[in-house]
Structure 1
Amino acid sequence: MAGADVVLQGGSLLCSHGGTATVASGSTRLTVGSKGVLVSGGEIGLTFSESCVSAAPTAGVATKLTVGKMPVLLATSGGPTANSQVGAGTWTVQSAGQTKLTAV
């Protein structure tokens, strides 16, 4: 089974309304090139350039790699967004921010 890239600080998410959000921080317990990995829950509340706000992922959470008992997010992650002006949408990972560390 091939793994997917783990999302790091500096990675970016894309909203279905066209907005982007950059991952500003990650866990310092596991780093790649001095950038922390994004653990599940760290994406909640990110604000996109189109005023959307991210919610918890519905896909793409690692089953084999955890940090502090929390799964890390993968490049295949995605979930819902909320926006009071244009309605609900979805987010996906635009860039994991690295290609060295993969997980399943």
Structure 2
Amino acid sequence: MAESVVVEGGTIDCGHSGRISLVHVSTRLTVRNKGVLLLEQEKNLPFLPAAPPTSPLPLQCTHVTTSQVPLPAPCITKAASSGVATKLTVGKAAVLLRLAGGATTTPVANAVPPTDSTWKVSAAGQSRLTAV
């Protein structure tokens, strides 16, 4: 079944309630002037607050350290393990779809176990272009 292609302004959520808005996308294919998210562009995205902060404030990743005074240990996305288009590519790179998701990790050494979690697209950012 065809699903919406993820574009700039779409959102990704982590398993610790964090949310980020997508800004690093390809402009080689656009939908209403918003570039699409290609495979590999979803990797290493940190669930950190925007700088400067947007209004309203995005949901924060709640993952913390095991320190006596817990410190943030935000998730970082790994490669998509689902929701990758098989029929639509841009320069040989597949686009990501609304059902995309994968694992996360944190680079913080003393993060509360488990250090790995998951991420998923919570909003594609458009519904005009679909793919399988």
With normalisation by structure 1, the TM-score equals: 0.95
- Matched position secondary structure for 2:13: strand
The separation in 2 between residues aligned to 1:52 and 1:21, in whole angstroms, is 11
The separation in 2 between residues aligned to 1:90 and 1:70, in whole angstroms, is 23
Matched, 1:70 2:93: yes
Deviations 1:26-78 (A, max 9, x none): 11110001110000000101111421000100011000000010000000100
Structure 2 unaligned segments of length 5 or more: list them. Answer: 48-59, 62-73
The separation in 1 between residues aligned to 2:91 and 2:8, in whole angstroms, is 17
Matched, 1:28 2:27: yes
- In structure 1, what is the equivalent of residue 70 of structure 2? none
The separation in 2 between residues aligned to 1:22 and 1:45, in whole angstroms, is 14
With normalisation by structure 2, the TM-score equals: 0.75
The separation in 1 between residues aligned to 2:33 and 2:95, in whole angstroms, is 16
Over the aligned positions, Cα root-mean-square deviation in angstroms equals: 0.9
The separation in 2 between residues aligned to 1:75 and 1:62, in whole angstroms, is 10
The separation in 2 between residues aligned to 1:82 and 1:22, in whole angstroms, is 18
- In structure 1, what is the equivalent of residue 65 of structure 2? none
Asked if structure 2 preserves the Cα contact closer than 8 Å seen for 1:9 and 1:26, the reply is yes
Matched, 1:5 2:4: yes
Q: Give the number of the structure whose residues are more often strand, by fraction.
A: 1
Larger-Rg structure? 2
Q: Percent of counterpart pairs with the same letter?
A: 48
